[in-house]
């Protein structure tokens, strides 16, 4: 049932009232047409690991009411690819899911409202895993500590995880469960490493302002990879010195500014070649290489396959 909250000028719908249908290895849920565009697709990658793609662009402010109680606690990893949303729990807790950030939280239930703003596209990837799944990879002690804390962590999404996320989103054969499982495992390996690392080994702590600064630097490289700023220029633009910028990149991305730039260029070139089968020289130019031969050498070293082979796959 769709209801209108006149005081908040927000429309509400229960998750039970979304249009649902099963297709092969996934479950689709979509908004009624009168509420705008919006759908989620749930994939059960294995018994203890699920993956949900959510794309919403409602025609009015919207709250999707959910009431999920898990038989055992779950760890939820959410990547904000585009836009933002908020979850307000019945117990008063509130979580924000923002573009460019990964949110990790341990939950026993999901009872509350998931809120979306009108005419603002939102794209999020969400992974849910059980304690048993985590025990297999991180051990009983660290997993138990995690669930006892009832703690939420927010950090800029790593470039490696973004790459895996786009491979999942662009997977043309969603029935290829092995491929999807592999990309999900790769993504989670990068995003959970910060969450599970031994804090005693971290001699330097970084605050939210530092996280925002390195996220701004990441955005600049993603937007200007063809003609990128130098590290000195990048530091000035985000308001921190070069030494600290490099430390922040190492902490949040396990990479250097140049290393991240290289990954961004290679991933963009791969997507361009795969989608358009363009000439190698065109792809090279599009990602900032003056010489196609240098680009080809870097591409082969990065992916283990030549750009011509990628273009031929289409």
Based on the fold, state whether residues 147 and 288 are members of the same structural domain.
no
Based on the fold, state whether residues 187 and 225 are members of the same structural domain.
no
Structural domain of 261: 206-312
Does residue 26 surpass a pLDDT of 60? yes
User: Could you read off the pLDDT of 174-195 as tens digits, one per residue?
Assistant: 667 888 899 999 999 989 876 6
Structure tokens that stand for 265 in this block: 């260029």
Based on the fold, state whether residues 114 and 211 are members of the same structural domain.
no
The total of other beta-carbon atoms located within 10 Å of residue 2's CB is 13
Q: What is the pLDDT of residue 201?
A: 46
Average pLDDT of the chain, as a whole number:
86
Based on the fold, state whether residues 115 and 264 are members of the same structural domain.
no
Which regions of 31-100 does DSSP assign to beta strands (E)? 36-46, 49-58, 62-82, 84-89, 94-98
Based on the fold, state whether residues 141 and 250 are members of the same structural domain.
no
Based on the fold, state whether residues 49 and 79 are members of the same structural domain.
yes
Confidence of residue 202 (pLDDT cuts 50, 70, 90): very low
Based on the fold, state whether residues 70 and 188 are members of the same structural domain.
yes
Distance of CA 219 to the CA centre of its chain: 14
Based on the fold, state whether residues 248 and 298 are members of the same structural domain.
yes
Based on the fold, state whether residues 53 and 155 are members of the same structural domain.
yes
Domain total in the chain = 2
Q: What is the pLDDT of residue 3?
A: 60
Q: What is the pLDDT of residue 203?
A: 44
Confidence of residue 172 (pLDDT cuts 50, 70, 90): low
Confidence of residue 1 (pLDDT cuts 50, 70, 90): low
Based on the fold, state whether residues 243 and 94 are members of the same structural domain.
no
Q: What is the pLDDT of residue 95?
A: 87
Q: What is the pLDDT of residue 7?
A: 39
Q: Point out which residues pair with 37 in neighbouring strands.
A: 57
CATH of the domain at 23: 2.60.120.10
- CB 42, CB 51: distance < 8 Å: yes
Higher-confidence residue of 24 and 84: namely: 84
Range with the largest mean pLDDT of 91-105, 160-174, 191-205 = 91-105
Mean pLDDT confidence for 209-236: 92
Distance (Å, whole) CA 225 – CA 167? 19
Based on the fold, state whether residues 189 and 214 are members of the same structural domain.
no
- CB 38, CB 56: distance < 8 Å: yes
User: Could you read off the pLDDT of 102-127 as tens digits, one per residue?
Assistant: 999 888 878 899 999 999 999 999 99
Based on the fold, state whether residues 191 and 224 are members of the same structural domain.
no
Task: With respect to residue 162, please indicate whether it lies within any of the assigned structural domains.
Answer: yes
């Amino acid at each position: 049932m769709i209801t209108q909250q006149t005081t908040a000028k927000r429309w509400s719908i229960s998750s039970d009232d979304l249009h649902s249908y099963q297709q092969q290895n996934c479950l689709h849920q979509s908004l009624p047409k009168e509420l705008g565009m919006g759908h989620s697709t749930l994939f059960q990658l294995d018994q203890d690991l699920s993956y949900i793609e959510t794309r919403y662009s409602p025609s009015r402010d919207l709250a999707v009411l959910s009431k999920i109680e898990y038989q055992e606690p779950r760890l939820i990893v959410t990547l904000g690819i585009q836009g933002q949303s908020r979850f307000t729990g019945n117990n008063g807790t509130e979580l924000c899911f923002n573009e460019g950030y990964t949110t990790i939280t341990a939950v026993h239930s999901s009872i509350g409202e998931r809120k979306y703003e009108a005419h603002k596209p939102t794209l999020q990837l969400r992974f849910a895993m059980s304690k048993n799944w985590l025990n297999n990879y991180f051990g009983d002690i660290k997993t138990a500590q995690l669930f006892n804390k009832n703690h939420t962590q927010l950090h800029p999404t790593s470039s490696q995880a973004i790459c895996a996320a786009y491979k999942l989103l662009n997977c043309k054969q969603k029935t290829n469960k092995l491929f999807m499982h592999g990309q999900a495992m790769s993504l989670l390996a990068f995003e959970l490493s910060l969450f599970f690392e031994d804090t005693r080994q971290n001699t330097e702590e970084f605050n939210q302002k530092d996280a925002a600064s390195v996220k701004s630097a990441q955005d600049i490289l993603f937007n200007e990879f063809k003609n990128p700023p130098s590290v000195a220029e990048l530091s000035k633009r985000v308001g921190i010195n070069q030494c600290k910028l490099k430390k922040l990149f190492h902490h949040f991305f396990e990479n250097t500014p140049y290393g991240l730039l290289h990954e961004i260029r290679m991933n963009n070139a791969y997507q361009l070649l795969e989608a358009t089968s363009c000439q190698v020289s065109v792809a090279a130019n599009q990602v900032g290489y003056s010489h196609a031969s240098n680009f080809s050498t870097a591409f082969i070293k990065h992916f283990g396959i030549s750009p011509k082979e990628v273009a031929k796959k289409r």
